[in-house]
Structure 1
Amino acid sequence: MSEPGGEVQAALAAFAGELKRLRQLCGAPSLNTLVAVSTSLRVPLARSTLSDKLNAKSLPEWPFVAAFVQACLAHAERAGIRVPAELAELSWWDAAHWRLLRIADAGHSEDRLRVAAHTQLARRAGGGEASGHRVAPSDQVTPRHLPAAVPGFVGRGAALAGLAAVLAHRHASPGSVPVAVISGTAGVGKTALAVHWAHRVADRFPDGQLYVNLRGFDAGGPVPEPAEVLREFLEALGVSASRIPAGLAGRSGLFRSLLADRQVLVVLDNAGTAEQVRPLLPNSPGCLVVVTSRSHLPGLVTIEAAQPFVLEPLSGVEAYDLLCGRLGPDRVAGERDAAGRIVAAAAGLPLALAIVAGRAAARPGLSLGRLADELAEPGRLDGFAGGDASVDLRAVFSWSYRGLDRASARAFRLLGLHPGPEVSVPALASLAGVPVAGAERTLTALVGANLVAEQRPGRFVLHDLLRAYAAEQVAGRDPDQVRRAALGRLLDHYLHTAYAAAALLYDQRDPLDLAAVRAGAVVTGLADRAEAWRWLVREHRVLLALVALAARAGFDTHAWQLAWTVNTYLDRIGAWQEQLVVQEAALAAAARVGDRDGQARAHRNRAVACLRREDHEQTSFHLHQSLGLYAELDDAVGAARVHLNLGILAERQGRLREALDQARRALELFTVAGNTNGRANALNNIGWYHSQLGDFPQAIEHCQQALALQQQVGNRYWQAHTWDSLGYVHFRLGRQAEAIRCYENALALWREAAERYYEATTLTHLGDSHSAAGAPEPARVAWRRAGEILDQLGHADAEQVRVRLRSVPVRSG
């Protein structure tokens, strides 16, 4: 039985230990250095206070913790030191501090500790400091995602009044969120209304505004899955990529949790179905959701009690006012008849009127009569024609298109080949085969002509109707060889840049022989791992769409090589369903061109995704297919990697002797091939399987050999595996202090690599060691975090962790 206050003192010591660990990971700055850095950050720390808190002499206050963490991170940044993602987030420290205060308040601690804890809890609960899992206002991320409002907005009085009524009743139903659905035909101004109103009421939502184009009626580009939209929303709310759940349910749950006590306006533009919207709805009455769609979305109206607003075309007076607002009343009044014909031809569609006005504004000498005459020309965008034969959006788009210079017109057409949803400057430069500077000038021209919008800095989007128009134009005006050359350059840009990003992030992967970059394609230079990660995150949806596009267009080698290139990235972030989809496309593409190496890699990658999802039958099938292909290729290294995977599968199925045999076979093949990295990996697996069989001396011997080789070649990812293996052996031998040290080494490396599944595995092992050492609270902390990660990944191992948590009772005060 522990002494009174022992658990509190242990928790306080553990928290101080975490602070000291952060300091060590940030380059071990001296106390004087921390004082100086904190002063420069305007969160000054006293040297005596630092010594007191780091030695666990008293409970740290939250302002001290926040200032200490910021000072350490600032020192690490100046020294160029990468800190594990979790420890770099104030939200993580905030949650840990809350746990410490609750333990001190509830435990049998000294009076001074209980009084201090109770006082801090009361102050934090009252809002004096950050509470729950939220950080202080200065650290909280407040997204401001609304696109720019259209100038000269007119009309929509009834809809604006209705939206105001929805806002007024925002808090009427606890546990639900008010939803408004704005529907109407293409080009009727749904987005313009939603964004205009959102800007008017933005101050009523102090926690920010989120916006996404769901592309529900985009015939040519990919429709973003709700899980991907949630990933972007969570990142915008300050959740790091490595901590975002893998599945839709986990992401949706985290999104609702983050918004539970916030006031955020969410604009979901261009929704296709109610199913696309539902996972994106918060459940806080302080929030409000505006949905736009060409469909009435009756499911949302019926089940979620959404308030519908159906937009009709502008009246003649409103359309005339729109033209006056864009062109000036004098110019419109000077050609009143021509303005009337333009209004009539546009049939009240604000998009059509805006494009006409944009062209007229760009050319003050162009008469409105000339524009009105052009509206009478026959249209060709049949899929988007209105009920009146005199209105055809194709003709409307053609007015702006014909006003472009030759280079801009060609670039606009080629954008019809891009799958979307966003286009970067280097991507357009590659499509057009022009320098980046030329692509920037072209995009400026296209934005000026209202044919492209700059959604975010350096990221451009086409309205779905304009994308359809561009695709039709490129198909009708540019020969097949021109289109294929442009698409080839585009694929080269993404493949070679993605390969460079993967090489920076995962430098121990086997190399891939890429074809030379075509003339005119731009490969984006990436300076470091952080920039490589940001590029992959930004282009995530585009890369997935390009794998499918490459396969459809007959660029099969690009398809399987791009799928292979992004495989580790998808695996590490837990996007296993997407991993399965792209590897299926890769397998078919490699088979079509008879590339056995591509097929072998795709089979193995698909097997890894199946293994993550506990589909052992499919894992075995794809691994044996891969092994057969590597045998035909006489590729010892490829075969050895498959044997390692077969060993992991055998272990998961309880066949440890077979797992050991597979790892030994892999070691033989790696040794013959002279592959040091592979040898180290195989030695670690052999050591691990020996530990599972109870042969601890052999386990330690093989793991130590593995660690020495991994440190020799700088393979930090596999060092983490080996530290975990060594930790387990010491755990089984009863050497808990040494086991904990090994597990903490592994955790630091897992977090550096953003490897969430194995982080959870090591946390589980760490909890086991703390429990065996008689430290139940650190054990609970480790198991709880492991369970959270596994739940986010949707992994079955989460239940085993919950069993551990239930086995250790929580002590009460």
Structure 2
Amino acid sequence: MERMRCRRIAPGRPLDRGTMAGAPHEPLGFAEITNAQRYGPPARDDRFELPSQRAERPQQLPMAPPWCIGREQEFDELTTALVAGEANTGPSVVVVEGVAGVGKTTLALRWAHRQAEAFPDGQLYADLRGFDSRATPTRPETILRGFLLALRTEPNSIPPDPDAAAALYRSSVASRRMLIFLDNAWDADQVFPLLPGADSCAVIVTTRRHLPSLRLRGATSLRLATLTPAGARSLLSRHLTEQVLDADVPATTAVIRRCGGLPLALALVASRVADHPSFPMSDLADELRQESTMLNAFNAGDDTSDLRAVLSWSVASLGDDAARTFRVLGLAPLSEFTAVTVACLLGCPPEVAGKNLRSLEITNLVQRYKPTRFRMHDLVRAYATELLGNEETLRYREEALHRVVDFYAAAARAADLLLYPYRTAASPPRAPSGTERFLPNDEPAALTWFDEEHQTLLAIQRTAMNEQWPEAAWHISHGLDTYQYRRGYSSENVATSQIGLAAAEATGSLRLQASATRQLGRAHTRVGDLQNAESYLHQALELEVRAGFTAGRAHAHHDLQRVYSLLGRYDDALEHATSALKLYQLDKNLIGEAHSLNAQGRQHAQMQNFAAAESCCLRALELHTENDNTSGQVATLDALGYIAAQTGNPQDAATRYSHALALADEFRNYFAQAEINENLADALAELGAREAALQALHRAYELYAGQNRRQEAERVRARLSSDQPGNDT
């Protein structure tokens, strides 16, 4: 009898197919045949089953957070991309990106647990540790090995070659409907080997960085924004009782505002409050108001619950130039900025600043929300300010801020002159070298620039005053005046004009004080505060007389006639309009002459002298047209429309108003549009065009309300409520 041959299988070593029945090169031994014949097939032993024969369902997801607030839309987007997407298009991959602490992992985990049934073959999870202060990013081959083991691949069967291991992994998941969750990815190279090859699997990747190369391969990008104020309060209410939140509503509102919708920050301050329930919320609000100590409130005692530490992991990934850019951004109190702004801060070409901003954008330390505009979260900016050491602050602060302020002062004045080139004032400061080409170069560009930079200009003006650079603050005030009038930003016009007057007084210049006082009087006129308007304009007239500035005196008289006209003192208004006309003619100022003629015409019309009124206004329209002064044409056409309406010619009135409205629309003068629409509604109602009249009246109401012109808006609302578009109601 042939001797029985036994083969010892090393522990942990997979069975070779040569040891199985039917292997051609190694026949079965006698004992094996005998036992098979005697006892039948051996019982199944899962320990010796090949990986391909096992039905394993890994469930590696970490415990889900108890809630995820304010992310309903993002939940739907994940479901659409990963569960309800088209089949046979390759694996579905969604990259969830955003700034540190915005809740990327929370969102993804909550969604993954909620959608677990959609992945019957299980879930694989790995923390790639892309932003971990305690470890370097995990190598993909390490993750691959863990995934293969979870799929019950025998350890010794995992190839040492990373490419071969990745191929085996793809084969192992090819026929499975699984979710693969790759958390905290550093870059795309870390992710590529972990992507399945078949369309049966779905992949979520979370990261603080942009990973465009994944998008090039078909991944969907979901950038997570901060929570809305309502969402932020809802999140706080999950940690704290409504009683605590409602005990001091202003303090709670201040805390929410300081957290800026960042879920990590909200959770950390909620923890502070919960630890000391007897402490008033106002104490925390006061702490958060202090820029120098604000970040202390966002520290729960370990790296994962310390906002500074979490942000530091992102900053540590930056190169030297980008890191310096990040720190210097803490100098400027700006919620948004451009490459030109950063170039002024750094004293470098805008192209270099743009490159550094791109590095910050990749790590989500800044967000590009328009092609040329960036934002930085307030808490991120506070951290940037802390990183700027005292020596670096002293070295850069004054010089850097001065360049920024000078650029905005120069740009505001340049844009203002494009909106209304007939203004006379002191020469503006020069823009910093290299930024001149970024100044607006035509009227549409000027309006767009003001629209984008309005809030920034308000902050820059305050900065200029705080730094005791009053001339720049005055230039910004002066530059904003026309734009704020056109847009109907009347309350903002008063505020910036008040700062402008304080700045002018600080310069000691009589000319600047006269101009600023007159501008403030005009701003009060626009908000209907006629008592203050009259007072400031008389002061301005006295200052202009002392300064010996003929055009300034004419301007003051012209502005006073408007106040007296609104007060119903038409004789006084006509007297100031006549004085303005004489001074403008003396100064050979044709545009001023046209404006004062139109003003005279309006006062004559108010006093029922319609022939004189029409004569003045027609001459004014001729001068404005000859000098291509569109805003003057709008005002004069409106006056001619009023004259036509008062003399029983509604068709001519409607024509005049429509022409004026078309011009006002052309250069987006919202302030004038509101009044002209209301006037047009009256003319259309007289003509029997009721629907068109109601439409014009609705538009007038929207414009008045949008400009916070409450008295006018209420007047029009009452007319709409009575369903009578004409002015007889």
TM-score band by shorter chain is: 0.5 to 0.7
- Are residue 518 (structure 1) and residue 475 (structure 2) matched? no
1:672 to 1:421, Cα distance in 2 relative to 1, 3 A: same
Which structure 2 residues correspond to residues 424-435 of structure 1 after superposition, within 5 A? Answer: 424-435=338-349
1:502–1:569: 8 Å Cα contact kept in structure 2?
A: yes
Matched-pair contact (CA < 8 Å) for 2:585–2:593: yes
Match of 1:90 in 2: none
Task: Say whether 1:566 aligns with 2:480.
Answer: yes
For the pair 1:269 / 2:177, whether they are aligned, the reply is no
Q: Does 1:785 align with 2:699?
A: yes
> How far off its partner does 1:792 sit?
3.7
Which position in structure 2 is the counterpart of 1:386?
299
Asked if the contact 1:430/1:522 (under 8 Å) is kept, the reply is no
Partner of 1:487: 401
- Listed one character per residue, the Cα deviations across residues 323-357 of structure 1 (whole Å, up to 9, x for unaligned) are xxxxxxxxxxxxxxxxxxxxxxxxxxxxxxxxxxx
- The 10-residue stretch of structure 1 (691-700 or 447-456) with the greater mean CA deviation from structure 2: 447-456
> Do residues 744 (structure 1) and 658 (structure 2) align?
yes
Equivalent residues of 1:576, 1:609 under 8 A apart: yes
Q: Unpaired segments of 5 or more residues in structure 1?
A: 1-151, 169-185, 202-264, 272-276, 279-287, 316-378
**Structure 2 residue 485 is matched with structure 1 residue 576:** no
Contact 2:71 2:107 in 1 (8 A): no
C-alpha separation between the residues in 1 aligned to 2:462 and 2:634?
35
* Residues 686, 410 of structure 1: alpha-carbon distance in 2 compared, 3 angstrom cutoff: same
Note closer, same or farther for the CA distance 1:476–1:153 as it changes in structure 2 (3 Å cut).
Answer: farther
Is the aligned partner of 1:796 residue 2:704? no
Q: Does 1:458 align with 2:415?
A: no
Could you tell me how far apart the structure 2 residues matched to 1:166 and 1:270 are? Answer: 12
Cα 1:534/1:382, change in 2 over 3 Å: closer
- The secondary structure found in structure 1 opposite 2:368 is strand
Q: Is the 8 A contact 1:600 1:630 kept in 2?
A: yes
Higher relative contact order (CA 8 A, sep 6+): 1
The whole-number CA distance in structure 2 between the counterparts of 1:809 and 1:436 is: 53
CA 756–197 in structure 1, closer or farther in 2 if over 3 Å, else same? farther
Q: CA deviation at 1:693?
A: 0.7
What does the per-residue CA deviation read over 1:255-289, in whole Å, with 9 as the maximum and x for residues that have no partner?
Answer: xxxxxxxxxx9998367xxxxx47xxxxxxxxx99
**Are positions 1:754 and 2:668 aligned together?**
yes
**Equivalent residue number for residue 89 of structure 2:** none
* 2:628 maps to 1:671: no
1:712, CA displacement in angstroms? 1.1
Question: Shift of residue 637 of structure 1?
Answer: 1.3
Asked if 1:653 is matched to 2:567, the reply is yes
Matched, 1:444 2:358: yes
Q: Deviations over 1:408-452 (max 9, x none)?
A: 343222211222211211111111111121112212333345543
Instruction: Find the residue that maps to 1:796 and give its secondary structure.
Output: helix
Q: Partner of 2:388: helix, strand, or coil?
A: helix
Cα distance in structure 1, aligned partners of 2:325 and 2:301? 31
TM-score normalised according to structure 1 size: 0.54
Worse overlay, 688-697 or 517-526: 517-526
1:158 partner SS = coil
**Does the 8 Å contact 2:564/2:572 carry over to 1?**
yes
In the other structure, the counterpart of 2:555 is: 641
Whichever residue aligns with residue 499 of structure 2, its letter is A
2:609 pairs, out of 678, 695, 698, with 695
| CA offsets 1:488-526 (integer angstroms, 9 cap, x no match) | 111122222233333333334335411223345555143
Structure 1 pair 519/700, CA: closer, same or farther in 2 (3 Å)? Answer: same
Q: Which residue matches 1:159?
A: 67
2:534 maps to 1:534: no
In structure 2, do the counterparts of structure 1 residues 314 and 739 end up closer, same or farther at CA, with 3 Å as the change threshold?
closer
Q: Is the 8 A contact 1:647 1:659 kept in 2?
A: yes
Q: Which structure 2 residues correspond to residues 618-629 of structure 1 after superposition, within 5 A?
A: 618-629=532-543
RMSD: 4.4
Q: Distance in 2 between matches of 1:385 and 1:759?
A: 48
Specify the alignment match of 1:408 in structure 2: 322
2:102/2:226 contact within 8 Å kept: no
Residues 522 and 406 (structure 1 numbering): CA distance in 2 closer, same or farther, change over 3 Å? farther
Asked whether the 8 Å contact 2:637–2:657 carries over to 1, the reply is yes
2:520 to 578, 586, 606: 606
Query: 448-457 vs 702-711, which deviates more?
Result: 448-457
Deviation at 1:194, TM superposition (A): 6.3
For residue 618 of structure 2, the aligned residue among 689, 695, 704 is: 704
AA of the residue aligned to 2:468: G
Report % sequence identity. Answer: 30
Cα distance in 1 between the residues matched to 2:605 and 2:111: 60
Q: Paired residue for 1:730, among 628, 635, 644?
A: 644
Q: 1:470 to 1:775 in 2, by over 3 A?
A: closer
Deviation readout 1:432-491 (Å, 9 max, x if unpaired): 111121112212333345543434433223333331232234351326363211111111
Letter matched to residue 647 of structure 1: Q
Instruction: Give the structure 2 partner of residue 551 of structure 1.
Output: 465
Distance 1:460 1:739, change over 3 A: closer
* 1:472–1:531 Cα change, 3 Å: same
In the TM superposition, what whole-angstrom CA distance separates every residue of 1:689-742 from its partner, at most 9, and x where no partner exists?
Answer: 111111112111111111111111100111111112122222222233322222
- Report the 3-state secondary structure (helix = DSSP H, G, I; strand = E; otherwise coil) of the residue aligned with 2:67: helix
SS of structure 1 residue aligned to 2:333: coil
In structure 2, C-alpha distance between the alignment counterparts of 1:803 and 1:163, rounded to whole Å: 40
AA at the equivalent of 1:681: H
Normalised TM-score (structure 2): 0.60
Deviates more, 1:780-789 or 1:575-584: 780-789
Mapped to 2, the partners of 1:160 and 1:590 lie a distance apart of: 52
Rounded Cα–Cα distance in structure 2 between residues aligned with 1:462 and 1:664: 53
Alpha-carbon contact 2:554-2:580 (below 8 Å) kept? yes
SS at match of 2:700: helix
- Number of the residue aligned with 1:717: 631
Distance 2:703 2:513 in 1: 32
CA-CA distance at 1:381 after TM superposition:
8.8
Alignment of 1:18-57 (within 5 A): none
Q: Which amino acid aligns with 1:797?
A: E
Question: Bigger CA drift: 562-571 or 507-516?
Answer: 507-516
Gaps spanning 5+ residues in structure 2: where?
1-59, 77-98, 115-221, 268-291
- Give the Cα separation in 1 of the matches to 2:293 and 2:319: 22
Q: Distance in 1 between matches of 2:379 and 2:242?
A: 24
Preserved CA contact (<8 Å) 2:490 2:527 = yes
Q: Which amino acid aligns with 1:159?
A: W
The match for 1:684 is 598
Matches of 2:516 and 2:378, distance apart in 1: 33
SS of equivalent to 2:611 = helix
Q: Residues 446 and 799 (structure 1 numbering): CA distance in 2 closer, same or farther, change over 3 Å?
A: closer
**Structure possessing the higher radius of gyration over alpha carbons:** 2
Deviation at 1:603, TM superposition (A): 2.3
DSSP 3-state at the match of 2:608: coil
Point out the more displaced range, 540-549 or 762-771: 762-771
Aligned equivalents of 1:583 and 1:785: distance in 2?
29
SS at match of 2:438: coil
Give secondary structure in 2 for the equivalent of 1:157: coil
Secondary structure class of the residue paired with 1:159: coil
In structure 1, C-alpha distance between the alignment counterparts of 2:698 and 2:69, rounded to whole Å: 48
Distance across 2 between alignment mates of 1:722 and 1:198:
62
Question: For 2:374, what is the secondary structure of its paired residue?
Answer: strand
SS of the equivalent of 1:460 reads: strand
